Each structure stands twice: as structure tokens, then as C-alpha cells.
């Protein structure tokens, strides 16, 4: 599982919480770091934040849609822009979760709970 | 054929000797009167059209419809000029009757145009109105975009620490259930950090809202500028020291001004804080000038500088250069917006001059009354000398 999140508090909490559910978690803070991880491996799930320091996380989702990738993408975001959210939803992510979210919601979205 | 030859002969002046200069004027007063009359009729039509254009069309914005109408006007002017250029020609040219036929046609269309100017006025009005509507729409869209940006920034800046808080709370639960004090301790620490971050954001927003609601309350007091600046610099000395930056000021020690202390202090605090945040080496310096209108305070840093295209947006709420991810360690993007608004409330302004890689100079201009030191006796304490 790849967690792309630039907020350290969120990413560290997700790493520990998901690890306890026997998930192997890799963290990436930027779009470029996420691309590098995806080039090396194909995780089952990608938890993707949209506003990242070096660009738009939505670009990763777009790139995955252009390939025949089977990675399930769960988009998490704190933005409130309806147009932007509609654009992201149009790219068919597995789930779209708005921040703040409970880890239970995330686990349900992944079918773990 | 004979008819055509006769018509051609008649149109070109018949048997009269027109080739002599003004020869056609002699002995043919009827035709001369008709020709001169036509000239005047056409001239009157053109005067009406010119007045109409001067009154109604001059101020129209440059839109495609106006350009089309301008082309139409130019054709008319061209035809009219042709007509008048031919006045001397017709005096020597045998085809003056043909010319009069042309003048009749031109006169007809000129007056038709002149009489229709009232309808054209409506068209021009509509063009102007639609242009104004387009401008209003663009302004409205711009405001909506700004509002949307403002709300998105607030949403993001509040939801992010709340999200961290929620996940860390889940982690604390896990720590509690598994009896793992390390996880619990770390989670509580992060919860405190996230709560503080959310509280700071709320404070910033509430301060901003409070500042807007108390815009009219302004109490001035007499203050020694060097003391105020020293107090501001003192508040930032620890932060600047941590980055190895110098803080200094060049304020005349006896400079006394009448101003709202709280607002001026906050402006300077925000500017110094901003200077320290974006300076890696060197430091921040404060200077003051007086002029006939009041004081000018300069906050000069040797920081990374600001590109020209960013300068005009710098004082907008939540505008941060190179912080698209809204990293809160770089602030919330409200400091400069607040500083400019406060400067406006004091009747002044805040401006910036900057060059990339060479630092920035923020100038606060305030129409504060400057009190000469010799008239001030109640403040006898020596000014603080500030330097790093």
C-alpha cells in the first residue's frame, strides 16, 4: 500500500494504523516520490492526497488511468472546490474520502473492515 | 444606338464649351443652382453624421460592432470627399451632368444615413451596455474565484490539522488497547500539535475578522517611534537568532508620532516576521523617513526576494508564493494582507519593492502627525538604541 501524503502527522498515523492491520505501507510526500515508487512496484491500494508540495496528486490518478494499472486509488483531500472534486471523481477513483476522516472509514473503503 | 450617343453627348455637356475653366457656369444658372444646392444638401447631411459620431460613438469601447460601424462611416467619408474633390473638376470636366447624377445618389444616401442616426444611437447604447455587462461579469467571476480560493484555503488549513488530530486519536485508542505507552505518548503529543495548529489558524481568522469589524475604531496616541521599533525587534530577536540573522534599525531617537500604537506595532510585527521567514542570510533592518504628509517606515530584508509577477498579488489573503501544498510552517498567508489592511485603516498604504535573490523592501506610509522633539517634554527617557 502506498500512502501519498505531505502532512507528516497524518502520514505517520496512517502508517502505524494500517501496519497494525497487516498492511505493508510505503510513504511518499511528493508527486515525484510517488511516481518513483509506482515505477518500482504496483501496490494494491494508493491513498492519495491532492495538494502536494510539487504538484497536483490528481495527476498520478490521471497517469494510472492512462495505463492498465490495477491499483485501487483512494483519494483523500481537504479541499472544498466542487469543480476540482468533480474533475477528480470523473477519473473514477476507487473511493473519494474528505478530510477529516476516521481510519475506520478508510479501512471500510479498502474492504478491510 | 442613336439614343445612347445622344445621351452620352447630353451627359458630357452637349455643345457647350466646358473645357474652358468655369465655362460651364456661364449661361446655365439652373444647373449651377442644382449643383450648388446638391453640394449644400450633402454637406448638411455630413454635418449631422459627424455630430452624431462625435456625440455617441467616440466614447464607445473598441468592440467588433464598433469597428464594423467605423468602416461604414469611413466609406461614407470617402464618398463625400470624392464628391467635394470633384467640385473644381466638374468646372472643367465636360461630364458635369453625370457628376450631378452621382451627387443626387450620394445626397440620397447621406440623408438616409443622417435620418437613421436615432436608430444607430440605440445600437451604440446596446453596444456600450453589453460591453459594460461583459466587464461586470468578468469582475464578478474574478471575485467569485477569489472567494472560492479564500474558502478553499480556510477549508484546507482547518481540515488538515483536524484530520491529523482524528487519526492520532485513533492511534491513541490503539495504544491504550494494546497497552503501549510509547504509541500513546507520541499520539497525545501529535494531538496537541494538531490542536495547536488548528487553534492558531482559528486565531488568525478571528483576528482577521475582528480587524474588519473594528475598522472604524481608531485611537491615536503620541509615541516614540524608536521605542516601538525596539519593542518589535525584541519580540523577534530569538527567532532571528535561531537562523543567524541580524535585526537592526535606523530610527531617529527623538522622532515622536501620533498614531494608533496597536495597529502600527502589528504591521511592523507582521513585516519583520515575514522578513525573517524568507531570509536565509543577512538580516532585517527597519528605517524611518518623515515627509510633509507623515512617516514612511521601511522594513528591508536580504531575503530571497519576490518576482515582479507575484508582487501585485502579495497582499491578497492566503496568497503564498511556492507553497501550493499550504505547508503551515511557512505561515497561513494572512500576515501581509492584515498589514496592508491595517495600514489602510491608518489612512496609509503598504507597498513593496523587490528583486529576486536581492531581498525586499516593504514601505508603510502613514499620514501620522510628526511631533518635533523640542516640543515634547513629557517623554524624557532616552531612546533605546537597537542593533544586533
How many residues make up chain A in this entry?
113
pLDDT score at B22: 46
The three-state secondary structure class of B171 is: helix
Q: Nearest Cβ partner of A13 from B152, B160, B167?
A: B167
Disruptive mutation site among A57, A99, A103 for chain B (greatest number of B CBs within 10 Å): A99
A98 to B166: CB separation less than 8 angstroms, yes or no? no
DSSP letter at A30 equals S
What is the predicted pLDDT for the residue at A56?
86
Contact between A9 and B148 using a beta-carbon 8 Å cutoff: no
Burial of A82: CB neighbours in 10 Å, binned 0-12, 13-18, 19+: exposed
The model's pLDDT over B152-191, given as tens digits with 9 standing for 90+, comes to 777 777 888 889 899 999 999 988 888 888 889 989 988 9
Q: How many CB atoms lie within 10 A of CB A43?
A: 17
What residues pair up with A72 in beta bridges, in sequence order?
A45
pLDDT reported for residue B131: 82
Query: Computed from CA positions of residues B302, B308, B311, B313, in that sequence, does the dihedral angle turn out positive or negative?
Result: negative
For strand B256-259 and strand B221-224, is the pairing parallel, antiparallel, or unpaired?
Answer: antiparallel
How many other C-beta atoms lie within 10 A of the C-beta of residue B52? 19
Answer whether A16's CB lies under 8 Å from B184's CB: no
Q: What is the DSSP string of B242-259?
A: HTT-EEEEE--TT-EEEE
- A7, A102, A103, B47, B172 from A24: Cα distances, Å: 19, 20, 16, 87, 21
Considering Cα of B154, then B155, then B158, then B161, what sign does the dihedral take?
negative
pLDDT at B86 exceeding the cut of 80:
no
Give residue B382's pLDDT.
37
Residue bearing cell 472546490: A81
At residue B200, the pLDDT reads: 76
Of the candidates B157, B257, B267, B159, which has an alpha carbon nearest to the alpha carbon of residue B211?
B267
Grid coordinates belonging to B369: 502627525
Mutation for A interface: B144, B164, B177, B329, most A CBs within 10 A: B164
Count how many Cα atoms sit within 13 Å of the Cα of residue B264 in the half-sphere of its side chain. 32
Say if B196 is an interface residue toward chain A (CB within 8 Å). Answer: no
Q: Do A100 and B163 touch (CB under 8 A)?
A: yes
Three-state SS for B290? Answer: strand
- Give the pLDDT score at B313: 75
Chain-chain contact of B166 with A101 (C-beta, under 8 angstroms): yes
Task: Point out which residues pair with B364 in neighbouring strands.
Answer: B297, B350
Nearest to B354 by CA among B243, B275, B297: B275
pLDDT (tens digit per residue) in A74-102: 999 887 778 888 899 999 899 999 888 98
Question: What is each CA distance from B332 to A70, B208, B283, B318, in whole angstroms?
Answer: 38, 12, 22, 6
| Residue pLDDT, tens place only, B197-221 | 788 778 777 777 776 666 555 677 8
CA distances from B56 to B52, B67, B136, B301 (A): 6, 14, 22, 53
Q: How many CB pairs under 8 A join A and B?
A: 76
Residue B388: per-residue pLDDT: 33
SS3 B297: strand
Q: A111 pLDDT exceeds 90?
A: no
What stretch of H or E contains B361? strand B359-366
H or E stretch at B266: helix B261-277
Contact B171 A10 (CB under 8 A): no
Assign B380 a pLDDT band (cuts: 50, 70, 90).
Answer: very low
Most distant CA pair in chain A, distance: 36
Assessment of whether the complete model's pTM goes beyond 0.80:
no
A-interface mutation test, from B160, B162, B179, B333, most A Cβ less than 10 A away: B160
Specify the higher pLDDT residue, B226 or A68.
B226
- Does pLDDT of B377 surpass 50? no
Alpha-carbon span B45 to B48, nearest angstrom: 5
User: What is the layout of strands, in order, in the sheet containing B256-259?
Assistant: B221-224, B256-259, B369-371
Helix B181-213 × helix A8-19 angle, to 10°? 150
- Could you report the predicted ipTM of this complex, rounded to two decimals? 0.85
Q: How far is CA B140 from CA B134, B135, B147, B351, in A?
A: 10, 9, 10, 26
- DSSP assignment of B301-320: E-SS---HHHHTTTTSTT--
B327 pLDDT exceeds 60? Answer: no
CA–CA gap between residue B171 and residue B182 (Å, rounded): 11
Amino acid at each position: 500500500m502506498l500512502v501519498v501524503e505531505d502532512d507528516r502527522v497524518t502520514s505517520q498515523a496512517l502508517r502505524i494504523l494500517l501496519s497494525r492491520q497487516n498492511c505493508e505501507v510505503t510513504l511518499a510526500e511528493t508527486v515525484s516520490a510517488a511516481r518513483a515508487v509506482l515505477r518500482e512496484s504496483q501496490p494494491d491500494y494508493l491513498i492519495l492526497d491532492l495538494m502536494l508540495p510539487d504538484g497536483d496528486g490528481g495527476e498520478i490518478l490521471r497517469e494510472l488511468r492512462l495505463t492498465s494499472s490495477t491499483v485501487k486509488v483512494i483519494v483523500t483531500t481537504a479541499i472544498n472546490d466542487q469543480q476540482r472534486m468533480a474533475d477528480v471523481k470523473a477519473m473514477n477513483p476507487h473511493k473519494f474520502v474528505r478530510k477529516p476522516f476516521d481510519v475506520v472509514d478508510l479501512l471500510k473503503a479498502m474492504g478491510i473492515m | 444606338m442613336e439614343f445612347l450617343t445622344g445621351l452620352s453627348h447630353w451627359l458630357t455637356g452637349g455643345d457647350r464649351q466646358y473645357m474652358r475653366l468655369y465655362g460651364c457656369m456661364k449661361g446655365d444658372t439652373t444647373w449651377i443652382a442644382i449643383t450648388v444646392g446638391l453640394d449644400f444638401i450633402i454637406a448638411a447631411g455630413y454635418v449631422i453624421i459627424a455630430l452624431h459620431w462625435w456625440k455617441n460613438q467616440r466614447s464607445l469601447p473598441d468592440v467588433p460592432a464598433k469597428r464594423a460601424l467605423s468602416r461604414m462611416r469611413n466609406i461614407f467619408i470617402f464618398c463625400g470627399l470624392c464628391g467635394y474633390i470633384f467640385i473644381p473638376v466638374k468646372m472643367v470636366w465636360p461630364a458635369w451632368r453625370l457628376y450631378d447624377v452621382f451627387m443626387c445618389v450620394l445626397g440620397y444616401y447621406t440623408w438616409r444615413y443622417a435620418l437613421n442616426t436615432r436608430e444607430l444611437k440605440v445600437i451604440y447604447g446596446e453596444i456600450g451596455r453589453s460591453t459594460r455587462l461583459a466587464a461586470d461579469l468578468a469582475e464578478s467571476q474574478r471575485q467569485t474565484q477569489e472567494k472560492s480560493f479564500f474558502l478553499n484555503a480556510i477549508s484546507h488549513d482547518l481540515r488538515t490539522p483536524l484530520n491529523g488530530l482524528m487519526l492520532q486519536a485513533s492511534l491513541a485508542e490503539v495504544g491504550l488497547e494494546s497497552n503501549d505507552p510509547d504509541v500513546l505518548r507520541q499520539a497525545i503529543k501529535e494531538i496537541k500539535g494538531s490542536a495547536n495548529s488548528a487553534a492558531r489558524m482559528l486565531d488568525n481568522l478571528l483576528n482577521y475578522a475582528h480587524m474588519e469589524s473594528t475598522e472604524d475604531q481608531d485611537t491615536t496616541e503620541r509615541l516614540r517611534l524608536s521605542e516601538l521599533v525596539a519593542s518589535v525587534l525584541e519580540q523577534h530577536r530569538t527567532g532571528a537568532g535561531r537562523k543567524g540573522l541580524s535585526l537592526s534599525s535606523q530610527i531617529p531617537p527623538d522622532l515622536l508620532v501620533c498614531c494608533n500604537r496597536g495597529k502600527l506595532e502589528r504591521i511592523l510585527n507582521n513585516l519583520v516576521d515575514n522578513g525573517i521567514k524568507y531570509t536565509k542570510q543577512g538580516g532585517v533592518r527597519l528605517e524611518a523617513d518623515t515627509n510633509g504628509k507623515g512617516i514612511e517606515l521601511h522594513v528591508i530584508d536580504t531575503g530571497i526576494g519576490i518576482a515582479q509577477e507575484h508582487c501585485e498579488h502579495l497582499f491578497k489573503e492566503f496568497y503564498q508564493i511556492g507553497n501550493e501544498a499550504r505547508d503551515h510552517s511557512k505561515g497561513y498567508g494572512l500576515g501581509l494582507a492584515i498589514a496592508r489592511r491595517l495600514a489602510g485603516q491608518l489612512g496609509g498604504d503598504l507597498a513593496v519593492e523587490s528583486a529576486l535573490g536581492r531581498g525586499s523592501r516593504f514601505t508603510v506610509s502613514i499620514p501620522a502627525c510628526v511631533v518635533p522633539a523640542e516640543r515634547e517634554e513629557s517623554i524624557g527617557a532616552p531612546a533605546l538604541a537597537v542593533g544586533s
